[in-house]
Amino acid sequence: MHIGGAKCGSSALQAALTRDPVLARRDGSTVEYAAIDFRGGLIRHESLAARAGPYGYRSSPTESQLENVDPDVTRKQLAGIAHDVVLSNESWQNSPDEWAAFLENWRMPVHVVAYIRPQVPLLNSAWWQWGAWSGDPFNQWVLGHFRECQWYARLAPWRTLPYVETVTVRLVRGDIVPDFLENVLQADASHYQPARHNAALPASVLRLYQKNRHLRSGPHNSAIDFILRKHLSVDGSAPWVFDRAWIERIIEKSRADNERLADLLEPEMRNHFLEDPRWWDPAAFAHLKPESPHPQPLRADQLEPLCVELINSLVALEKRA
């Protein structure tokens, strides 16, 4: 079970596994990606891509949708598969208690995997994914979502669940897909072709959204993001919204949890974690110039390349039509 975390590569992983769901491991065994549907059945093989929608991937129901899933249906279908199965949803890290009942029903060995990032850059990314479109004030939103990236508190309870044999926590160090294939599934990643899934849109697009809210009307109305990533190749990054005071506050409030988090990591990951200043030192972000999280005047030097790319994309689409 891959359980997240949010803004830690889940969409890219689910997209890659949706495209290529059956994999051969180095030991000759097979592992398969599947998605639970809203009644508890399994979506498999070509049906994954057929039911992917505009996001380019198919995942299992979120934590809030699990109450409609019949665990008996899922158990029976899992029991009919002779090899290991990967299930994934990034929201599951929030719901170990809800999953306890499912696992008791399934009575199958489970290996849990989570990917994590330092809290400061994660919250900056999360602001532009959800917070900026939520209608909540910036300070209120950041503080309200702070606990969601206290990784030890989120992940340690999974170790106590029935039938969970291991909880593997890995750091996001670039694209997680080849890491997951090679180090978690023990499969060959040489065939993997990276794609842009849920990567940050450039500041020009995000600031345009802020001035034209109908384009991004709510925190979960993100289909437009995936469409733009599919057709545009404008480079850039999301605006950095944390000043020194915010960075210090986030790091200090996370320090106790991060110190305990080291116990969940395998030796290689633990060394990288302890040596990465982004978890521990505000100076790691001194090179980043903070901008306002609120709507700002649109800059012509950012809009011009965006407009050119939009025109080029429209022409390319017309030629393919």
Residue 3: pLDDT band with limits 50, 70, 90: very high
Residue 264 has pLDDT above 60, yes or no: yes
Residue 14 has pLDDT above 90, yes or no: yes
Question: Whole-number mean pLDDT of the chain?
Answer: 95
114 with 167: CB under 8 angstroms? yes
pTM score: 0.94
CA atoms within 13 A on the CB side of 317: 11
Closest among 65, 95, 116, 115 to 161, alpha carbons compared: 95
Domain boundaries, the chain: 10-184, 203-236+291-320
> CA distances (Å), 221 to each of 130, 224, 233, 319, in order?
9, 8, 21, 29
What's the pLDDT tens digit per position in 97-128?
Answer: 999 999 999 999 999 999 999 999 999 999 99
> CA distances (Å), 311 to each of 225, 232, 235, 315, in order?
17, 10, 16, 6
Single-letter amino acid code for the residue at 39: R
Q: Using CA atoms, how far apart are residues 167 and 20, in angstroms rounded to an integer?
A: 25
The total of other beta-carbon atoms located within 10 Å of residue 271's CB is 12
113 with 184: CB under 8 angstroms? yes
What angle is formed at CA 276 by the lines to CA 270 and CA 278, rounded to 5 degrees? Answer: 130
- The structure tokens listed for 79 are 């029991």
Residue 196: pLDDT band with limits 50, 70, 90: low
* Per-residue buried b or exposed e for 27-48, using 16+ beta carbons within 10 Å of the residue's own CB: eeeebbbbbbbeebbbbbeebb
User: What is residue 33's predicted lDDT score, i.e. its pLDDT?
Assistant: 99
Only one residue has tokens 């669940």, namely 161
Residue 232: pLDDT band with limits 50, 70, 90: confident
Residue 159: pLDDT band with limits 50, 70, 90: very high
35 with 141: CB under 8 angstroms? no
What's the pLDDT tens digit per position in 268-305?
Answer: 999 999 999 999 999 999 999 999 999 999 999 999 99
Residue 215: pLDDT band with limits 50, 70, 90: very high
